[in-house]
Chain A
Amino acid sequence: MGTAFDTITFKASSCDGCGKCMTACAEAKQGAARISIVPGTKESSFELAMCRQCGDPKCVMVCPAGALAKDDGSGVVQWDASRCIDCLLCTAGCSYGGISLDSHTARVSKCDQCDGDPACVKACPTDALQWVTAGSVFNKYGDKEDMFVPGLSGCQGCNSELIMRHAMRKIGRNSVLATPPGCIPGMGSVGYNGKTGTKVPVFHPLLTNTASMLAGIRRYYDRVGRKDIVVMALAGDGGTSDCGFHAVSGAAERGEKVLYVCVDNEGYMNTGMQRSSTTPFGSWTSTTPVGEHMRGKSQDAKNLPLIMVAHKCAYVATASTGYMEDLYDKLDKAVEASFRGFSYLHIYSPCPTGWRIPSSKVIEACRMSVDSNFVTLWEYTREGGLRFTRSPDRPIPVRDYVKMIGKYRHLDDAQLDHIQSRVDEQVTLLKRMAAAPAAEPAVI
């Protein structure tokens, strides 16, 4: 297995061309800026000229003096001034304008990522530049055993399959896994006709009793001293928020020591995309169709994670596969908390089939949902209260997210305004909760 590296990312749609990154770089490096924001092909658009720290760098290949080399640890293409013969072949070899002549020093210069703390990113006022370290997840967990068979029959681009594989790869074999009826067992995790799809003990609870069955398993294993087993669910939003809610609420109230992961794809996708109580306002589903008398779901989504905060669980968090480090960090905390009390992790999970989006756009949809505050990323503990793990400030308009999702195609301005106002309301509420002392999450 290879290595993934931390990297600077550039989101052209957020860049207003202010140039503060270039100034910050020039100051940090006491010379010419090693980053350039240049006019793009469209009006008022901008593109980035900067070293991409290529995996197969052309500059290194063309250098006759061995002055350029890719660092195995950081992935940075390092320039060795003592070896460089100033031939400038590298500048001709790079397609990205990533290495160029610094007229002040009459030598080449290139981005070295400021040793993992890039000045340009810190200076960017619009978050167009970001320092992304998600590759660490791959480095840390890529070699771990995948707990599911290769041939699960999820739809192309299934985000739930991604969540299942990541979660169980991290949690490992010493676990008991409940996958209540829905896409997760539907794609074969509990298997068909005698063949299992999972390497850990796995079962179908009823759609309605996941949390209760887990509670019974945990209580017995605690009773016989096998306290290190992770007893967990990968459940859908319907079984969690609708017909199975009594069991979730009861187990949370009793402080049952289980890990409950709700994979929220905003409806009953496995049975043909029917509405659930977490389906958002305006959404088309097969039971909230679009016609002359109905324009999609006419109620707002139930905010299940906030309801779980009201239960004062040992841990409650929201996560998205758009931000994997955040998700992994929360999985760690959620597993640990599940040995102390009820631990609830709500992962928002776009469904390419049911939401009418191309499978190639799933992760983008995840990110846009978070970037627009349609999805907020936070965590709650009894001791620390509620805390955002990603800032809800400077969101993009919800419209930008909604317009990429086919199930919202029919929305009119009034519906869009309603969604935006509900998103703003949610953020205001969450900010009040985050600002309140831990002892007072009663602001709900």
Chain B
Amino acid sequence: MSQTVVIDGNEAAAWGAALSRPDMVAVYPITPQSSLVEYLAKFIADGRMDADLMDVEGEHSVLSVLHGACLAGARTYSATSAQGLAYMFEPYFRTPGLRLPMVVSLVNRDSVSPTCVWGGQQDAMTVKEVGWIHMFCETQQEICDTIPIAYKVAEHPEVMLPVNVNHDGNYLSYGVAKVDLPDQAVVDAFLGEKSINWHACLDPERPMAVDPLTGGATGAGPATFVRYRKGLCGGMRAALDVIVEAHAEWGRKTGRHWSPLIEEYRMEDAEVALVTIGSMSGAAKDAVDEARLDGRRLGLVKIKTFRPFPVMQMARALAKVRAVGVVDRAVNFGWNCGPVFQEVLAALYHLPVRVPAMSFIGGLAGADITVEHFAQAIERTLRLAAGETAVEPVWLNEND
């Protein structure tokens, strides 16, 4: 039987992981992820979860022990944030290249320096080109549901890529909400048998060399390397359909239907659209509703899947609007705008017409992006639609 509980986002992630029955969980604490791994440790200690707990000496080893376990055939889970992700980066970069179907939660946090332990998506946005699939959750319920979905995607034979399930630090990690925990049997039926990547395994019964040297100026090396790289792109491409199918099946089994790639909110007749990602989307939707009450034709596109980027879905969703305002919780230094903004611009390039777009940056270092902030963003985007130019990003919390 499913069970209704009131829990925070970290506990929702722990439940999502527990329901997915990983063989191995590796943990190292970091704010704001810490309570998540404490929940997991408690679940295992209480026998609610049958997994091996490896509490290791740092995030570098968190991912490394899971690499080993995964290469031996295990289903694995972990979670980290900002500095932990930075310390994990060396094995993190290697994971998609090895095509290891792992799931790791990122409890998004702004990255040092300046020193900060609060929410922000700088951690995830800094690793967006590495080859992990990235999904972003809006609510505690979506966190709990997305983790089993992530395993389904990661282990799909056409995908075989690691997945980061992102949820915002502070707002989601510590924010409490009602969550329906799906029945274990439902999740078991959804996930089916664990799918192992036998093309990269360490088993005396299937002896092989994993990750031999490739590349070099001549011979078979460079072409071999290119095949690996293209294969990874192929996995990303295949993931788009698999993510849609997995969400659909989850909806059929649980009754909860999440938009798999992007969610279009009141976009049918929208003339101006906001693009959001993560927990900010709730307040943004309220602001859209208020603008609608004022007679403005506002809509919103929420990004659920950020990698692979749903380029065509995004382009189609924004094809009919006259201006787009993209709200980021991170900074793209050098472009000096939001990273999601850059992604949206690249998607808009696929349209026959030029749609004006502008960048809003808010919610850094744990700052609140309120409905009022979104109202300002809407006003500014409406002026963009009316012909005003926008060169610099708008920093929403600059004068808070």
Contact = CB atoms under 8 A, between A and B. Distances in A.
A177 B73 CA distance: 16
Contacts, number: 149
A246 B60 CA distance: 9
Interface stretch (A46-54, A73-81, A187-195): A187-195
Interface stretch (A122-130, A213-221, A393-401): A213-221
B65 A202 contact: no
A218 B204 CA distance: 13
Interface in A39-83: none
Interface string B273-301: 00000000000000000000000000000
Contact of B204 (A185, A195, A196, A229): A229
Contact of A216 (B64, B214, B221): B64
Contacts of B211: 190, 203-204
Contacts of B23: 220, 223
A174 B207 CA distance: 10
Contacts of B70: 216
Given A203-B202, A216-B65, A220-B73, A173 B207 contact: yes
A292 to B, nearest CB: 38
B206 A220 contact: no
A209 B61 contact: yes
Interface string B196-216: 000001111011111111100
B66 interface: yes
A253 B55 CA distance: 11
A23 B277 CA distance: 93
A192 B68 contact: no
B64 A219 contact: no
A174 B206 CA distance: 11
A205 B68 CA distance: 9
A173 B60 CA distance: 30
Given A197-B209, A247-B64, A219 B52 contact: yes
Interface in A206-263: 206, 208-209, 212-221, 223-224, 229, 246-247, 249-250, 253-254
Interface string B173-206: 0000000000000000000000000000111101
Interface in B46-102: 52, 54, 56-58, 60-61, 64-74, 90-91, 94
B24 interface: yes
B255 interface: no
A195 B56 CA distance: 34
A219 B70 CA distance: 11
A333 interface: no
A246 B57 contact: yes
Contact of B202 (A173, A194, A217, A250): A217
Contacts of A219: 24, 52, 54, 65, 68-69
A101 interface: no
B224 A205 contact: no
B352 interface: no
B212 A196 contact: yes
B66 A208 contact: no
Nearest to B62: A212
Counting chain B CB atoms within 10 Å of each CB, the highest count among A174, A194, A219 belongs to A219
A205 B214 CA distance: 15
A169 interface: no
B209 A249 contact: no
Given A190-B212, A193-B213, A201-B208, A250 B56 contact: yes
Main secondary structure, interface of B, reads: mixed
Interface residues of B, number: 41
Main secondary structure, interface of A, reads: mixed
Interface string A247-281: 10110011000000000000000000000000000
B367 to A, nearest CB: 35
Nearest to A216: B68
A29 interface: no
B1 interface: no
A93 to B, nearest CB: 53
B90 A208 contact: yes
A203 B56 contact: no
A224 B203 CA distance: 12
Contacts of B60: 208-209, 212, 246-247
Interface string A151-189: 000000000000000000000011110000000010000
B217 to A, nearest CB: 13
A215 B54 contact: yes
A295 interface: no
A311 interface: no
B21 to A, nearest CB: 13
A214 B56 CA distance: 13
Counting chain B CB atoms within 10 Å of each CB, the highest count among A173, A190, A193, A216 belongs to A216
Nearest to A230: B204
A185 B64 contact: no
A373 interface: no
A224 B69 CA distance: 11
A253 B57 contact: yes
A199 interface: yes
Contacts of A224: 73
Given A216-B72, A219-B54, A250-B61, A193 B221 contact: yes
B52 A223 contact: yes
B114 interface: no
Contacts of A201: 201-204, 206-210
B220 interface: yes
Contacts of A190: 209-213
B91 A216 contact: no
A206 B209 contact: no
B219 interface: yes
B66 A216 contact: yes
A176 B201 CA distance: 10
B64 A217 contact: no
Contacts of B224: 193-194
A215 B68 contact: yes
Nearest to B58: A246
Interface string A399-442: 00000000000000000000000000000000000000000000
A201 B211 CA distance: 11
A364 to B, nearest CB: 33
B209 A216 contact: no
A385 B70 CA distance: 36
Contacts of B67: 209, 213, 216
Given A216-B67, A224-B73, A250-B56, 12 more contacts: A193-B212, A200-B204, A200-B207, A204-B213, A209-B67, A209-B90, A213-B64, A215-B54, A217-B202, A221-B72, A250-B57, A253-B57
Interface of B: 23-24, 26, 52, 54, 56-58, 60-61, 64-74, 90-91, 94, 201-204, 206-214, 219-221, 224
19 contacts: A173-B207, A176-B72, A190-B209, A190-B211, A193-B219, A194-B212, A198-B209, A209-B64, A212-B68, A215-B68, A216-B74, A218-B68, A219-B69, A221-B72, A223-B23, A223-B52, A229-B204, A247-B64, A253-B57
Q: List the 6 shortest-distance A-B pairs measured between CB atoms, nearest first.
A: A216-B68, A250-B57, A196-B209, A209-B64, A212-B64, A216-B65
